[in-house]
Structure 1
Amino acid sequence: MALSWQFWALLAAAFAALTAIFGKIGVAGLQSDYATFLRTIVILVMTAAIVTFGGHWRSPAEVPGRALVFLILSGLATGASWLCYFRALQIGQASQVAPVDKLSVVLVALFGGAFLGERLSFQNWTGVALIAAGTILVAWR
């Protein structure tokens, strides 16, 4: 089970839920961009420790150019997402912000089809539509 994508995806969901709760508490009384900066430092230190202890360090010059470009773009998108997420948490309720943030699931399905050639079945698209509808039902009061 620990090697399956489902295991890691469920852990990611659990940690994302904790991110919303801890972030909402942590951003109180701080400017949201600064709170995001502090959070990013913690993530950098934690990830560096994991890479170090796992023996996975390598020279960035060894990373293929295409991979490096897309990792940089992914990092920029992540940073923008985090800045927006913490700002939303600062001014909204965590129980509303987190579901709207999870509209990323819907967007990934759309972008995956458009840019990666991924194909979803009717059943899969029904699930995507239900996620979108659920987001609306949970987030807007």
Structure 2
Amino acid sequence: MARIKIDMPEHYTFTTDLPIRISDINYGGHLSNDAVLSMVHEARVRFLENYHYTELDVEGAGIIMTDSAIVYKSEGFYGDEIQISVTVGDFNKYGCDLFYLMSNKKTAVEVAHAKTGIVFFDYDQRKVISVPEGFRAKMEKDA
């Protein structure tokens, strides 16, 4: 099977820190794969909040995650502080990708690269809609 590769951007528009909790540890004694996706979710919520958005209200539209990819770079352990840098890219008519660079804050060693695809959604009409122009403009300005 071919390995997944994520072309990570050089510039990130937002950074947040999260500790690795004991519930994030798997039977191997390191950060579990499901916890990485949960940490990415938390980073996404904080990223949106930084722009005064929520997952249900980005310029009046909601978002839905369409896909995710994670490439593990090194282990994370209980108590490590993880710095997650976030940015937006790869816009299309209905959505974009969010990129997450996860690093150990103390050592700067990369823990994971992640990407989630999102589309914008009208929850009242239950249908995919175009990217809100205000969102695209803010993200392209900060890029």
- TM superposition score normalised by structure 1: 0.27
Q: Counting strand residues as a fraction of each chain, which structure ranks higher?
A: 2
User: Normalising to structure 2: TM-score of the pair?
Assistant: 0.26
